[in-house]
């Protein structure tokens, strides 16, 4: 929602980490962020999975253990023990290093 872009809905990695905190497994979080939306849009033949002939726009994450505060769109905050950090993005076949940004959720 565009009303949350300045917080608490910062980016996809933060949203995915919130799902991890809620008990969804990492493989399911990835599926729910890739294949499921592609299917809902009627694009599962070309998007949402890595396969020959498909677009290969991907993001490489690192799972970080620690203590992280996540706030939802209602202003409720919970402390989580894992966060996802974006390491690289591959877009249109080019590897793009993640730019240095302020800590997500800070």
Residue-wise pLDDT for 35-45, tens only, equals 998 899 998 88
Domains of the chain: 2-97 (2.30.40)
Residue 64 and residue 83 in contact, taking contact as beta carbons nearer than 8 Å: yes
DSSP track, the chain: -GGGTTTT---HHHHHHHHHHTT--HHHHHHHHTHHHHHHTT-TTTSSS--TTS---EEEEEEEEEEEEEE-TTS-EEEEEEEEEEEEEEETTEEEEPPP-PPTT-
pTM over 0.75: yes
Q: Which two tokens stand for residue 76?
A: 């409720």
Cis peptide bond upstream of 85, omega within 30:
no
Residue-wise pLDDT for 55-95, tens only, equals 778 899 999 999 999 988 888 899 999 999 998 888 877 88
Alpha-carbon distances, residue 72 vs 22, 35, 95 (angstroms): 12, 24, 31
């Amino acid at each position: 929602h565009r009303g949350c872009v300045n917080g608490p809905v910062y980016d996809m990695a933060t949203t995915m980490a919130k799902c991890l905190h809620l008990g969804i497994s990492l493989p399911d979080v990835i599926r729910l962020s890739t294949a499921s939306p592609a299917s809902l849009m009627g694009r599962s033949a070309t998007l949402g999975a890595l396969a020959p002939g498909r677009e290969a726009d991907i993001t490489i994450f690192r799972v970080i253990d620690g203590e992280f505060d996540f706030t939802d769109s209602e202003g409720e905050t919970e402390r989580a023990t894992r966060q996802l950090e974006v390491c690289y993005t591959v877009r249109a076949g080019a590897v793009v290093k993640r730019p240095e940004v302020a800590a997500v959720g800070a």
